[in-house]
Structure 1
Amino acid sequence: MSVELDLTALAVWMRGVGESVVGDLTGTRVGLGQSNLTYRIDDEAGQSWIARRPPLGKLLASAHDVEREHQIMAALQGTGVAVPTTIGVCTDEAVADVPVFLMTHVEGTVIDDEETARSLDPKVRRSLGLNLARTLAQIHAVDIDAVGLGELASRKPYAPRQLKRWSRQLEESRTQDRPDLDALTDLLREHVPAPDEIALVHGDFHVRNVIIDDSTGEIRAVLDWELSTLGDPLADMGSALAYWTQAGEMPGGMFTASTLDGFPTRAEMAAEYLRTAGRSGQALGFWHVLGVWKVAIIAEGVYRRVLDNPENAAGATLTAENIQAMVDHGWDVARENGLAS
């Protein structure tokens, strides 16, 4: 798969911001992400960096903002949250026709398929799952005003903001009529919880967006902050649960590595998060349903971008049936949590 960057021009820019690039650069697309495109960049001395750029084709307003992603990750340097060291944002049109965010490469493993997860000892799988919950609590403990993120986004009640934003995203990327997805939207609007505290919310927190030590399950870096905002911290836990498929479940195209022996259940992860963060889980069911709803809308957007431009695909291919299964799963979670009968 081609690298949609001019690596010669990128090397010039990198040297200009103080990076000791040796010789020519090479690049390789990494990860299965189908939102911002991610590349590993190597020089002739074996040094490595990570570059991120928006996907190809027409972009939705406010989506795929790598400059904002850089702002957030730069602010988190020194907070204890595990993030790569940021280099900067390149806006040189000789490199690409869009901004390109550059950061250091962090050695470790990304659990982006079931085969990689199988290579882990079951004890490491359990440690990883619980570390995800603890890391999320650590992100939510960041003093947003002290690190300069207090004006990152609105501090108005988060659930209505999410419902408005993702309903709009659905309308702009819809590939077909989905009346049961629309009905799930209505259900969520009927069950909006009272506003809680405001914290930094990652917005897309799951096991494929972290780099781990595969011998211990320690999280070395949290990636993909493009959806990060200010909001209710339970929203992040709800999204993490939405991505965490359990044994016996096959919610259409969802990641299944977490069904392997050793990984904690959703209930165990939620309990570890609530214990570490010192929060009540009273509204967590709502946020879990909203997380599944949002995953289905994100999948619809990915499906739309791939239909528009097949070069945006990476690895697994979504289908309309996959997305429908996600919607069905959302209704199952709503019933489990008493939001629907």
Structure 2
Amino acid sequence: MNPPGLDLDALGAWLPTAVPGAGSSLTAELIAGGKSNLTFVVTDGTAQWIVRRPPLGHVLATAHDMGREYRVMSALQGTPVPVPRTYAFCSDHAVIGADFYVMERCAGTPYRRASALAELGAERTRAISQDLVDILAALHAVVPEEVGLGDFGRPEGFLGRQVARWKKQLDASRTRDLPAADELHRRLAASVPAESATGIVHGDFRLDNVLVDTADGADRASAVLDWEMATLGDPLTDLALMLTYHRLAESIGQAVADASTAPGFLSEDEIVARYAAASDRDLSGFGWYLGLAAFKLAAILEGIHYRFLAGQTVGEGFDDIGAAIHPLLDAGLTAMKEN
């Protein structure tokens, strides 16, 4: 039986041509929890792979870029940033109706809930959160040209384009008036700062986009996932977005990933201090970055809310997304005062 968005007969005909040794008789399971791209575990009965494709239905023009994910993960092989092995990318929509790629299935858990981390205890949770910050700093230390990503984005004017881009994305998915979003956009556009040194930006860096392998108590990050918004630009946007997720979790709890509220998880000040110790980037004026992060996340959530109202989401957990946008925008407006 085909899961939504994945024609197993067509995939089975293609997979052996791209992945040596792969069988053609496949079964697949949708991995629950994703509210954006669809992620499947695919097996031929012997081996397993991960297949990623865009969501069904309403897809914004620049979002859900499978080619970007595939390219950046392939480039980061061999760096201190843990990423899955990549096998093949397909842009032929005759196969499953969309771009997709195949990668290794890595061992590990994407910790989304504080309750799951609490089972590990505060000491192990603290170590996991420290590792998370260290990986982010390591990513931002990678020189794009040295891994073949020198042309991966247009870093000049990155912050200004981010403000314009997320305004466009938000407007494309609007289902209601959001005056706080309009005010936050106005303030961001009026005060774009000078950018820090160019680096690789993940675009959605948070704990539940990282697989943590807890086998034998190692608590080691085995893979950073979800690179669909990766580009070259100002890496401080990654740090700000991660902290904005944490602030949102504190305000509305389980309506979003709340792992950062688990006992032992580094506090916001500790995260910033640990990152600053591993980086030479200037964190003054960081409130603007937090405002941009809130605006970006609001645009993403509104897109998900749009698809939910249209009946185009797959899985559960979408009911509260629309309501989560309001405290997020309020937090963004407050952050702008922290400069």
Q: TM-score by structure 2 length?
A: 0.92
- 1:296 and 1:313, CA in 2 relative to 1: closer, same or farther beyond 3 A? farther
Return the alpha-carbon distance in structure 2 between the equivalents of residues 277 and 31 of structure 1.
35
Match for residue 127 of structure 1? 127
Q: What is the aligned partner in structure 2 of residue 229 from structure 1? A: 231
* RMSD over aligned Cα atoms: 2.1
TM-superposed deviation, 1:113 = 2.9
Structure 1 residues not aligned, in runs of 5+:
none
Q: Residues 3 and 28 of structure 1 are in contact (CA less than 8 Å); yes or no, is this contact kept in structure 2?
A: no
- Trace 1:17-166 onto structure 2 (pairs within 5 A): 17-22=18-23, 24-45=25-46, 47-166=47-166
Distance, in Å, in 1 between the alignment partners of 2:160 and 2:119 is 41
Residue by residue over 1:32-64, the C-alpha shift from the partner in whole angstroms, topping out at 9 and shown as x without a partner, is: 12111111112212x211100011113211111
**Stretch of structure 1 that moved more, 53-62 or 319-328:** 319-328
Distance (Å, rounded) in 1 between the aligned partners of 2:48 and 2:240: 34
Greater mean alpha carbon deviation, residues 250-259 or residues 263-272: 250-259
Distance in structure 1 (CA, Å) of the matches to 2:202 and 2:231:
7
Q: State how many pairs are aligned.
A: 336
Residue 209, structure 1, aligned to residue 206, structure 2:
no
C-alpha contact 1:246 1:266 (8 A) present in aligned 2 = no
1:291 CA drift (Å): 1.0
Query: Residues of 2 paired with 1:163 and 1:284: CA distance?
Result: 15
Could you tell me how far apart the structure 2 residues matched to 1:71 and 1:2 are? 26
Q: Secondary structure at the match of 1:191?
A: coil
Deviation at 1:251, TM superposition (A): 6.8
CA separation in 2, counterparts of 1:95 and 1:137?
Answer: 38
- The question of 1:12 aligning with 2:30 is answered no
Partners of 1:40 and 1:49 within 8 A in 2 = yes
CA distance in structure 2 between the aligned counterparts of 1:2 and 1:31, rounded to whole angstroms? 12
Q: For residues 41 and 125 of structure 1, do their structure 2 counterparts lie closer, same or farther at Cα, with a shift above 3 Å needed?
A: same
Task: Considering fraction of residues, name the structure with more helix.
Answer: 2
The Cα offsets for residues 208-244 of structure 1, whole Å up to 9 and x where unpaired, read as 1000123343211000101011111111111111112
Gaps of 5+ in 2: none
1:21 and 1:240 map into 2 onto residues whose CA distance is 37
- For 2:96 and 2:178, the matched residues in 1 are separated by 36
Counterpart of 2:310 (choices 308, 311, 319) is 308
CA distance in 2, matches of 1:107, 1:284: 35
Which stretch of structure 1 is more off in the superposition, 244-253 or 56-65? 244-253
What is the CA distance between 1:92 and its match in structure 2? 4.3
Q: Which residue of 1 aligns with 2:199?
A: 199
